Amino acid sequence: MSFFSSILDLLFPPKCVFCSRVLNKTDDGWCDRCTEALPYADNHGRQDGETFDFCVSPLYYTGVVRRSILRYKFRGASHYAAVYGKFLAECICENPDLSYDLISWVPLSSRRKRSRGYDQAMLLALATALELDEVAAQTLIKPLDVQAQSELGDKAERSANISGAYIASDTDIIAGKRVLLIDDVVTTCSTLEECAGVLLAAGAAGVICAALARGE
C-alpha cells in the first residue's frame, strides 16, 4: 500500500458499502458480518420475462441492501459500483445458461443524469463488465423524463408510464446480438420489459437481464 493511500485510509477509513462499518484492511469493500447476513436472493433471484428471457439478481431489495442502493443513487456514493459489480458478475457466472454477446444498461434520461452527476446503471454495467473482463456499450437512450417508476403503483401503471420512453441508440451494434441488460433494482420488471422490447425491435437476437437487487 502506498504512503498516500495509507494517509487517505487514516483520514477516510474505508467503510462497508452495505452497513457502513469501518472495514479491516483485508476486506474487499464489504464486511464479514454482511457476507454472513446479506439478504441473498433465492435461486439467483431468477424471474422470467415476456420480452426478455429471464432476469437474475444476487440480492433482495431490503434492509442494508436497500439503504446502500439509496445512498448509491441519491447520496453520491457512486464508488459503490465497484463492489456491486463483483456481486453482479458472480451472479452472472453462476448461471451458465445466461449467454450474451454484449453488455449494456438501462439508461437514465440526460436531464436526470445531469442533476445526479452520473448514471448509476451505466456505472454498474461498466463495473460488472470490468469484473468479467469485458466491456459495456450503450444501446439505449431515454430522451424524455417520465415519472419515477418508484412513485407508481402496479405493473399496468408502470408499463403505461414507461411506454415509448426509450429508443435504440445504435442499431448497428445491436443487430443479431444477445444483449445482457444491467439495472440496479427490479420490482415489477416493467422497465426491463420495455427496454428489451425496444432492443428486439432494433434487431437484437435476444435480451437477458441482471439487476443488483429485486423485490422480495
Residues that bind Zn ion (CB under 5 A): 16, 18-19, 31, 34
Residue among 31 and 122 whose Cβ is closer to Zn ion: 31
Q: How far is the CB of 20 from Zn ion (least distance, A)?
A: 7
Look up residue 40 and give its three cell numbers.
441473498
Give the integer Cα–Cα distance in Å for 92 and 131: 11
Q: How far is the CB of 23 from Zn ion (least distance, A)?
A: 8
Give the integer Cα–Cα distance in Å for 190 and 29: 31
Q: Which residues of 21-51 are buried (b: 16+ CB within 10 A; e: fewer)?
A: eebeeebebbbeebeeebbebeebbebebeb
Between CA 127 and CA 137, with CA 132 as vertex, the angle to 5 degrees is 60
Residue 82 identity (one-letter amino acid): A
Residue among 86 and 113 whose Cβ is closer to Zn ion: 86
Q: How far is the CB of 33 from Zn ion (least distance, A)?
A: 5
Q: How far is the CB of 58 from Zn ion (least distance, A)?
A: 15
Residue among 18 and 105 whose Cβ is closer to Zn ion: 18
Residue among 37 and 175 whose Cβ is closer to Zn ion: 37
Q: How far is the CB of 22 from Zn ion (least distance, A)?
A: 10
Phi and psi angles of residue 47, each rounded to the nearest 5 degrees, phi first: -135, 140
Give the integer Cα–Cα distance in Å for 107 and 120: 8
Q: How far is the CB of 15 from Zn ion (least distance, A)?
A: 8
Residue among 121 and 212 whose Cβ is closer to Zn ion: 212
CA quadruple 87, 65, 30, 135: dihedral sign: positive
Residue among 34 and 146 whose Cβ is closer to Zn ion: 34
